[in-house]
Amino acid sequence: MVKVKNKGKLKWCLEKHAAGKVTVKWAANHLKITPRRFKQLYAKYKTNNTTPTIGQNLGRPKKQITQETIQIIKQAYEKDKLNAVYLKKIIYARQKTSISYRTIHGVLLKLGYAHHQPSKQKRRAPWIRYERKHSLSLVHTDWHHCANGKYLCTILDDSSRRVIAAGEFDAETTKNAIIVLDKARRECSSQWYSILAVLTDHGTQFCANKRDKKVMWCMGLSCILRSIVLGIFFVE
């Protein structure tokens, strides 16, 4: 349901509609809601002779956790010592009771069996849709596990969405990724011009994964390619 954000504007529209000065369609467009929603608000306005309350008691009512549910979660944790995701499956398998993992995690926090992790509570970076204007200004590369058991590494141009190079291997390794990138570099240099930047994920084939900021970023495909093979700028 579309939310009405401006109470003063709602009151004005209801009064004008009651006086016959504006139509339902005009008032709905002015409030950026559906005509059906405006009719609902107008019916409440005519019944109570006051502007309907908006912005309160929105969403699904909060479900109270029973003591029985807390006891089930407590017993399951004390027996198996697992996190909420696995406890959800274990509880359902043993007792045929479906409890969401968020409820389980909340109970574990209250009981002191789980703790908040600040590193996982940061605001995530916004999703960006890359669409470069010029070809080869940015290419994407990633691995895919095929149905035949092989691993496919593909390099895709961001602007034209053309597959520049690809290779099928027995394993996902940095060496195989370099082979495909070098193939793409040679093909682009011979026909058009050089690749300016490469966008990869943080897989171990492309960069060294680390959580400790004190550890130097000394391994990974990005470091190898910058210094030895291609000289391509990497977007991390």
Q: Cα(121)–Cα(43) distance, rounded to whole angstroms?
A: 44
CA 119 to chain centre: 17
The total number of structural domains that make up the chain: 3
What pLDDT score does 121 carry?
79
* Contacts (Cβ under 8 Å, ≥6 apart) of 225: 178, 181, 198, 231, 232, 234
Q: Are 14 and 54 in contact (CB under 8 A)?
A: no
Q: What is the mean pLDDT of each run of 10 residues along the chain (236 residues)?
A: 75 90 91 89 88 76 88 93 92 91 92 87 77 86 91 91 91 88 85 82 73 43 47 48
Residue 188's domain is classified under what CATH number? 3.30.420.10
Q: Is residue 129 part of a domain?
A: no
Which residues on adjacent β-strands are paired with residue 60? none
Q: Identify the pLDDT of residue 69.
A: 93
Contacts of residue 113, defined as CB under 8 A and 6 or more positions apart, other chains included, come to 77
Three-state SS annotation for 65-124: CCHHHHHHHHHHHHHHCCCHHHHHHHHHHHHCCCCCHHHHHHHHHHHCCCCCCHHHCCCC
Let me know if residue 57 belongs to a domain: no
Note whether 222 and 165 are same-domain residues. Answer: yes
- Is residue 221 domain-resident? yes
Do 32 and 77 reside in the same domain of the chain? Answer: no
**Closest Cα partner for 173 from 140, 209, 206?**
206
**Global confidence as pTM:** 0.43
Could you tell me if residue 78 is inside a domain? yes
Q: How crowded is residue 87: how many other Cβ atoms within 10 Å of its Cβ? A: 24
- Cα–Cα distance, 184 to 178 (Å, whole number): 10
Do 37 and 111 share a structural domain? no
Give me the pLDDT at residue 228, please: 40
Specify the pairing of strand 151-157 against strand 233-235. Answer: unpaired
Q: What is the pLDDT of residue 77?
A: 94
Q: Which residues contact 131 (CB under 8 A, 6 or more apart)?
A: 158, 159
Same domain as 42, residue 87: no
- Using alpha carbons, select from 67, 97, 91, 63 the residue that is nearest to residue 79: 91
Beta bridge partners of 156: 140, 163
Does 176 lie in the same domain as 107? no
pLDDT score at 214: 44
The Cβ of residue 121 has, within 10 Å, a number of other Cβ atoms equal to: 7
Q: What is the pLDDT of residue 2?
A: 56
Domain range for residue 221?
Answer: 139-235
- How far apart CA 10 and CA 27 sit, in angstroms, is 9
Is residue 109 one of the residues assigned to a domain? yes
Predicted local distance difference test score (pLDDT) of residue 90: 93
Amino acid at 70: I
For residue 7, the model assigns a pLDDT of 82
